[in-house]
Structure 1
Amino acid sequence: MTATATGFRKRFIAGETLVGTFIKTPATHPVEILGNIGFEFVVIDEEHAPWDRVKIDGALLAARASGTAGIVRVAEPSAAKILAVLDDGATGVLVPHVSSAAKAKDIAQACRFRGGRRGFSNTTRAGDFGATGVWPHVEAQDAAVTFIAMIEDPEALDEIDAIVATEGLDGVFIGRGDLTVALGAEAMDAPQIMATCEKIIAAARKVGKPVAMMVANAEDAKRFHAMGATTFIVGSDQGFMRQAGLKAYSEISVVGAKGA
């Protein structure tokens, strides 16, 4: 790829501390609210939430409006699915179950024009609906689109060095939940899982690739930052709503109670 990294991708590759969250509710408002708060990115979760292409398209527009990077966790790693969200203006894709170097290569090629096989159209939001010429569109997209692979399968651990070294792969996300279940570990912070995280982070750092982690709180983030992770996903729009709702209800519901 000849284009120089820009925007979110440039910051991600450079190892800046970036904070994002999952968007589970198929609507634009959570994206706008969280983007306006200052989250550097949001992950529109097509894999585990009821998103369709039209709703994803609207959410990506909301991400642009609120100045946050719109990443889509695609439901499947097909070239057609990746092309759809990139044409709609996604900053990048978070791809589940990248369990081999061959799979990582296929996805990287679906994300790139030069050296890849991404289908071309500049009459999309990504191409300013035709306002961007052919080669400027190619250069801009190859510079901006971010491919993050989710490492969450035991078989990926056997190929981790080859996976992280894949050309066109910008970084990895460690799926502790899936790894915990797949490996039969007691909890996501069990010694076996932490050792697995250390192995993945070490492999990524060896080739200069950043690592993203799901964290529960600041202490969790500090722990993984010390290990080498630089990008953090905390909670989700639904999780934030539930936490705020529980707090409000627990505080107000006792107002009329005897002795309150």
Structure 2
Amino acid sequence: MVPPAAFRHRFNDREPLLGSFVKTPTSHSIEILGLLGFDFVVIDEEHAPFDRVTIDHCLLAARAAGAAGIVRVAEPTPAKLLAVLDDGASGVLVPHVSSVAKANAIVSACRYRGGARGFSNSPRAGDYGGLSMWDHVAAQDDSVTVIAMIEDPKALDVIDDIVAVEGLDGFFVGRGDLSVALGAPSPDAPQVRAATEKIASAAAIVGKPVCVMVGSVAETATFRPLGVSAFIVSSDQGFMRQAAAKVAADFREIKTTGAKATHEQK
């Protein structure tokens, strides 16, 4: 099992990291991704049908498979953030961080020292009471990774101030939401590229890492020169769809070829 603090340290050191979104509310895809060597998975509560019990099971699967379990919360309330952290999440991915006030509120909800996270060492994060009060506080403040999603045009106006918020570990560029908000034809459009470069440049100045989602490993080469170090490649559903689509296409080709051969024999 990967030590709890390992992901945060690797992320903050800007080590190249590979992850994927998990959209299917089951532990099995997480185990597969972890066993294949993915560094982290993002359990997507925002856009997939996850409840707290399912998230709890999925975080256990991530630990078992040696992958960091990050949760994209549906909303950044203190209760929601506390729930996933108590259940043992390695970190949180928080949507629509568009102001310094929101960034500070998220950090406060996720940190003990200097913050206002509600205390309990009885859940998984505290080894079910196995860690003393202050050992638990120290371990969580050292290991919990807080990643802000920058995906609103108004966030770009104050990006230098957002990235400077102490306690934010890094940033995810939400190219999909930015594309829609900017009226861009695709995430590869020039205005989205410019926004990505602006976010990455601001993060680099304060020495913080940046993560983006890409459709393939080949696409990572586009972002590495910008200093992007963490990559979310597709999702469990995306991988299944791609593999299934190829099988279906191959079968149609075989069926067509077979039917043609049978016709010619006649």
- Structure 2 length as normaliser, TM-score? 0.94
Q: Distance in 2 between matches of 1:217 and 1:34?
A: 15
Specify the structure having the higher radius of gyration (Cα): 2
- The Cα shift of 1:254 comes to 3.4
Q: How does 1:60-209 map to 2 (within 5 A)?
A: 60-209=59-208
Residue aligning to 2:260:
259
- The Cα shift of 1:218 comes to 2.6
Q: Distance in 1 between matches of 2:247 and 2:156?
A: 43
Q: Distance in 2 between matches of 1:24 and 1:227?
A: 28
Identity %: 62
Aligned letter for 1:163?
I
| Number of corresponding residues | 256
Deviation track 1:112-153 (CA, whole Å, cap 9, x = no partner) reads: 000000000000000010011000000000000000000000
Deviation track 1:149-189 (CA, whole Å, cap 9, x = no partner) reads: 00000110011001000010000000000001001112211
Q: Is residue 15 of structure 2 the alignment partner of residue 8 of structure 1?
A: no
Aligned letter for 1:61?
L
Residue aligning to 2:229:
230
- The Cα shift of 1:256 comes to 3.4
- Farther off after superposition, 245-254 or 198-207: 245-254
The runs of 4+ residues in structure 1 deviating greater than 6 Å are: none
Q: Distance in 2 between matches of 1:18 and 1:81?
A: 26
- The Cα shift of 1:251 comes to 1.1
Q: Distance in 2 between matches of 1:218 and 1:24?
A: 19
Q: Distance in 2 between matches of 1:219 and 1:251?
A: 24
Q: CA RMSD in A?
A: 1.0
Q: Which runs of no fewer than 5 residues in structure 2 stay unpaired?
A: 262-266
Q: How does 1:52-67 map to 2 (within 5 A)?
A: 52-67=51-66
Deviation track 1:189-238 (CA, whole Å, cap 9, x = no partner) reads: 11111111111100000000100000112332011011110000000000
Q: Which runs of no fewer than 5 residues in structure 1 stay unpaired?
A: none
Give 3-state SS (helix, strand or coil) of 1:202's partner: helix
Aligned letter for 1:110?
A
Aligned letter for 2:203?
A
Q: Distance in 2 between matches of 1:32 and 1:48?
A: 20
